[in-house]
Amino acid sequence: MKGTVTAVVGANWGDEGKGKVTDLLASDADVVVRFQGGNNAGHTIINEFGKFVLHMLPSGVFHERVINVIGPGAALNISGFVQEYEKLLASQVPKPQLRISDRCQVILPYHLLFDALEEERLGSRQFGSTKSGIAPFYADKYLKIGIQVADLYDRQRLLNRLEQALESKNIILEHLYHKDALAVESLMEQLLQEGEAIKPFVCDTTSLLNRMLHEGKSVLIEGQLGALRDPDHGIYPYSTSSSTLAGFAPVGAGIPPYAIRRIIAVAKAYSSCVGAGPFVTELQGEEGDELRQRGGDGGEFGSKTGRPRRVGWFDAVATRYGCMVQGATEVALSLLDVLSYLDRIPVCTAYEINGERTKEFPTTGRLEQAVPVYEWLPGWKCDITGIKTFDELPEEAKQYVRFLEKQIGVPIRSISNGPRREHFIWREEEVEI
């Protein structure tokens, strides 16, 4: 195995800034791969072509020579894929190279329907779904009634698979949700048309990736959401339905596990999340509103839903845990420039749960009882946007980065300090943890 694989994954709840890091690193990669999730979240990228939010496409599509792969572990929303692709071309982005695994499974219209109906039924107990069909999709995948891309080119097989799925779907629709049953004929025609729309992109991506690795090519793998949304290691049941961890990337992409040598966990210089679940450092009122308005590019609002993101101070307990389960070899710290307005900056270094102090990230039930314990650092009170080197940062900003690094136990090798691709600092100094 001659090629190298780098994974870019989230250390927290998602929305950490992974798209920008992937877009930046893609300039030196031969392949960029999406290995899990669907179009239920977005990667915001600002470059010379404009501002884009990618939900389904890999973040390497702005580099003409890069091959962009949607792997077998992803949840393919075909209409979402086509719309994003056409929007890119209409924005004068050079035609990207795209490949879709023939083993990838397809989000179906009834997955979106069931997602919305179940959230409506749950009411105040709902999980904050984006209603993109992700949970019903992965449920069907593991119930073995999903539809693979390859099935779209075999009419009889597709009909048999749909009829099998609808046997149970229609019973639930009629008796639990009191809705009309679905007809297989209309679904068939829609899927056959969608299959034709993506046919030029479909291939055996597993063989493609392994061949490229043997040829010494550079592969970049990007995750969706973050470690704390993982169904096994995250804040279950407020999680997503596919593994968000770098450890799953070889499975979802179709490459050997030993090929991944570098794992970059992305974390914000503060905290944010979209969706339900415990969020220990969450800010309310004016303090939260100010951070939300200053955050990101144009404020902290969900790239998929437009919902205001919940925001809070940096949570070292959660981030240390996220980096651990990701197996992070380094951290990319995003949006450091956002904190430039503060006189003092709090960092959560421990939790207090029922009178006991801990630095371990607990299971969800105990996490819901956790109260943050803060340490305060001095702010730098000046605009750091676009500074090129770590040494040029104000001493207080460097102190903040080094403090976070000590807390999470992983070297911070890169820092974003502005919204654009070029607003990035690669840290050259030796780091002792």
Q: Which residues are catalytic?
A: 15, 43
Backbone angles phi, psi at 92, to 5 degrees: 70, 20
The three state secondary structure string of 268-329 is ECCEEECCCCCCCCECCHHHHHHHHHHCCCCCCECCCCCCECEEECEEHHHHHHHHHHHCCC
Provide DSSP, 380-426.
Answer: --S--TT--SGGGS-HHHHHHHHHHHHHHTS-EEEEE-SSSTT-EEE
In angstroms, the CA 311 to CA 345 distance is 14
Phi, psi of 427 (to 5 degrees): -90, 120
Residue 359 CA to residue 183 CA, distance in Å, equals: 54
Question: What token pair was written down for 185?
Answer: 């004929």
Contact 315, 280 (CB under 8 A): yes
- Nearest alpha carbon to residue 184 among 129, 243, 110: 110
Q: Report the C-alpha gap between 29 and 31 in whole angstroms.
A: 6
Measure Cα distances from 99 to 69, 244, 341 in Å.
5, 21, 44
Burial class (CB in 10 A: 0-12, 13-18, 19+), 53: middle
Per-residue tokens: 310: 């919940």
**Residue of 170, 148, 166 lying closest to 157 (CA atoms):** 148
